Structures are given as structure tokens and as C-alpha cells.
Amino acid sequence: MVKDQEFLEKKASYCIGLAKKFGATASSVMVNNSVSETVNFRNKKLDESNRSDDLGISITTYIGKKKSSISSSNLLNDNLNILIEKSVETTKNTPEDEFNSLPDKDLLAKEVKDLSLYDDTHIGNDQKIDYLKKLESAASNDKKIINTESSFTQNKSNFILANTEGFCAGYKTSSFTASSVTVAKDEKSMERDYEYSSKCFFKDLDDAGELGKQAADQSIKKLSPKKIGSEKIAIIFDKRIAKGILSTFASAISSSAISRGTSFLKDKVNQKIFSDPINILDKPDILKGLGSRNFDGEGVKTDTLKLVEQGVLKHYLIDTYNGKKLNLKSNGRYGGTSNLYFENGNISFKDLLNSKSKSLYITETIGRGSNIVTGDYSVGATGFLVENGEFKYPINEITIAGNFKDMFQHITLANDLEFKYTNNSPTMMIEGMVVAGK
């Protein structure tokens, strides 16, 4: 069981008072506790079961514009005394940085809303094992499946964030995650795919049998892939892959990248960077949302941001330090986005497939081929050839390439958005991308 709020608050308050006593002009403290339990199966047999209980504290001390941080997993007061004294002494010898400071007091969150992020349910090992037995049975039902791996993880967390501006708040979160990895084989190839489900509440987790079946079906469909030639063609990204475009976008509009001048989206606020119908939101208050939160890692209140509206970039993701460099106030995005997503498009999945006589449907990308400095994008990929709306055959060993400046302008989104991850996208088509094949 995770530590309660009272225990964490007591430790945070103790550290804030001690830092002031040792000479800090300001300080912030994060105290967190996380308890995780995992069971792994391999080929329908129990492979591993483990439990971890992590308790930690991170302290940041300021003396004027000087700043330093220190952390520890030992929360005994004797250790905290040594830790904080050391942090303050280090701060005294740290060069000044004019942008160092706590967040403005008026930006700090005033309340903690109940966003339904914590489930009291405890899943015992026997229940985890029963779930995985059902999952593994479904995943290995077809004789083409030669290897299966699955896992079930239950995580419960609690934290307190406090600072010398009077802020002190935190809340519990939970997650239940099940995954299935399958390997399929025929006379021509051996292919691998996966499926997983992660929810705040156990009752919302995908059915074990359905999860295993999906992983198996996806692996089997990839068998006996063919090679294709190089060409310029429309690429359709499966939702699992399309959400990765959002991750790159978020990195490119982070205030750290903007302040360093290392983003292709520098100086692009209020400019059109996507096609007209595209809207992108970061919404932190979705009930049971995997990325939902009341405030960011500095305690700044997080409100919904419409980052892109009708193709126009409206905001960067701003934290306190980099915001001061840019002469902008924090919008509660220290640590990045919360629940980031493309709004639905106006076309069905079926109509999107039928919109081109020939396209490639990408189900997996290989490598980290996104360069946020130049906007260049190049990754290995596998997927399917689509002709007249029909999946013809699997393809592999291709490279797809483009530049985000151009790609963003040629996106068409289906209307099949689901909130399964922290970043979510409908099925996405990007026209005119370059494919390098055999």
C-alpha cells in the first residue's frame, strides 16, 4: 500500500523548513511513493513475478538566482538533514542564472479536482495469473503462433509537491497494464507484433481473450511480406503509429527547444503550419485520462490548450525557466503534455482507405528518424499495400521519408479517434511521401 498524504506532506514540510534554516531563499520538494507488481508469462507458463516499492524525495534549493537539486531514497530525518545542508552548500557555489526561480505564485494551482485517477482495487497474483492464462491461451490458439510473451502490471502511486510560495498538493494515481507479444511463422517468414491495454481502473482494462487474439491476428497478417519498389505515394498511418507524429510535434514546440533555437517551429506561433481542418488539443482534465493531472511538475495549474486551431499554431509548451527566457508565462507544461490528441477528421476509416487508388498502410516504424531541428523524417517501416480500399498483402523493408514542414500540410484524418494512450490520433493519411523500396 502506498504512503498516505499525511506522511508525504510531513516529510515535504520538514524539508522546506530545514532548507530555509540552512540559508535557502526559496525551495521546492517532491516526495513520491510508487508500488508496482508485475507478473510475466512466456509460452503459457509463468516466467516471472516481482514487486517494487519505491520511495523517493527530490529537493531543489535557491539562493537568489543560484539553484541546485539533490535526491535520495532515504527519507529518515538524519539523512534529510545531511541532504539539504549539502544542497544549500552546493547552491552557494553554483553560478547565477538570471532565469532561475520558482513559478509565479499567481500561476500555482489553487485546488485539486477529482479526475478519477485512482482505483482502490488490488489485483492479487492469482488474479493476474488467471488473466494472463486466458490471454496466452487466446494468443496461441492459431498454430502459426510459435512464441508468446505477456505481462500484467499493477501500479499505485502517491506524491506531494511543495514549495516556499505556500504550495503543497498531491494526489494518488493508479494504472493496470496488460500486454501481449506474439511471434508467427510460416514457410516464408517469421513476424512479430503486439497489443496492450493500460487503464486507470481495472474494470476498464481490455478483455484478456480479446487482447491476446488481437496480438496474434496482427502477427499472422504480417506473414509472407513482399518487397515493393521506390515511389512517391500516400501513406496511411495506423493509429498506433500516427500518435508518434504528436510526440515529435510536442518536442518541437517545447519551450526548451524553442529557447535554444533548435526547433523547426521556432517563431511559428500564429502561423499556419498544418492544413486547414487540423486541430490539436492538450487536455489535462479528462476523467480517467492516462495523462490527466491537476498541475505540472512545478505546481502550475494546467488548463486545456488548443495548440493548433484550423491549422494555425497557437501555443508553445512553456515551463517557468524557459518561459522566462522567452519572456512568456508558464502554461503548466513543465514535463511536457498531458492528454495530447488530434481532433477527429471528417472522413470514415473506410472512405480514407478508398480515397486513393493505391496507398501504403503503415503498422510499424523502425528507428528514431525525427529531427526536430530540420524537420526531416526518415524511418524504416512495415505495413500493407492498399489498392482501391482493400488490403492486398503485407510489405516490409521499406523506408519512408519526408519533412514535417511539408507533411503537416498534407494530413487527412479519419473520424476514428479513441483515447487509449496519453497521445492519441485518428488514422492519418499523409500524401506525397517518399518510399524507398527494393
- C-alpha closest to that of 168 among 338, 24, 55, 31: 31
Q: Which residues pair with 36 in a beta bridge?
A: 52, 155
The domain boundary, picked from 221, 244, 277, lies at 221
Q: What is the residue whose three cell numbers read 486513393?
A: 356
d(CA 132, CA 149): 10
Q: What is the residue whose three cell numbers read 493505391?
A: 358
**Is residue 167 located within the same domain as residue 245?**
no
226 domain residue, yes or no: no
Which residues, including other chains, have CB under 8 Å from residue 146's CB and lie 6 or more apart? 183, 184, 185, 190
**Is residue 116 located within the same domain as residue 38?**
yes
Is residue 364 within 8 A of residue 382, CB to CB? The reply is yes
**Is residue 90 located within the same domain as residue 239?**
no
314 domain residue, yes or no: yes
Q: Tell me what pLDDT residue 58 has.
A: 97
Is residue 225 within 8 A of residue 191, CB to CB? The reply is yes
Q: Tell me what pLDDT residue 139 has.
A: 97
Q: What is the residue whose three cell numbers read 527494393?
A: 438
d(CA 52, CA 335): 24
Q: Give, rounded to a whole angstrom, the gap between the first and last alpha carbons of the chain.
A: 55
Q: Tell me what pLDDT residue 368 has.
A: 80
- C-alpha closest to that of 112 among 281, 292, 290: 292
Residue by residue, pLDDT tens for the chain (438 residues) are 889 999 999 999 999 999 999 999 999 999 999 999 999 999 999 999 999 999 999 999 999 999 999 999 999 999 999 999 999 999 999 999 999 999 999 999 999 999 999 999 999 999 999 999 999 999 999 999 999 999 999 999 999 999 999 999 999 999 999 999 999 999 989 999 999 999 999 999 999 999 999 999 999 999 999 999 898 999 999 999 999 999 999 999 999 999 999 999 999 999 999 998 999 999 999 999 999 999 999 999 999 999 999 999 999 999 999 999 999 999 999 999 999 999 999 999 999 999 999 999 999 999 888 999 999 999 999 999 999 999 999 999 999 999 999 999 999 999 999 999 999 999 999 998 999 987
User: 3-state class of 259 per DSSP?
Assistant: helix
Is residue 144 within 8 A of residue 183, CB to CB? The reply is no
Q: Give the domain range for residue 76.
A: 5-221
**Is residue 207 located within the same domain as residue 247?**
no
**Is residue 165 located within the same domain as residue 206?**
yes
**Is residue 160 located within the same domain as residue 261?**
no
Distance (Å) of CA 410 to CA 189, 280, 289, 311: 34, 15, 29, 11
**What domain count does the chain have?**
2
The domain boundary, picked from 182, 200, 221, lies at 221
Burial class from Cβ neighbours inside 10 Å (0-12, 13-18, 19+) for residue 50 reads exposed
Is residue 132 within 8 A of residue 154, CB to CB? The reply is no
- C-alpha closest to that of 61 among 28, 94, 110: 28
194 domain residue, yes or no: yes
Rounded to the nearest integer, the mean pLDDT of the chain is 96
Is residue 37 within 8 A of residue 10, CB to CB? The reply is no
Q: Tell me what pLDDT residue 135 has.
A: 97
CATH code for the domain in which residue 215 is found: 3.30.2290.10
Q: Tell me what pLDDT residue 181 has.
A: 97
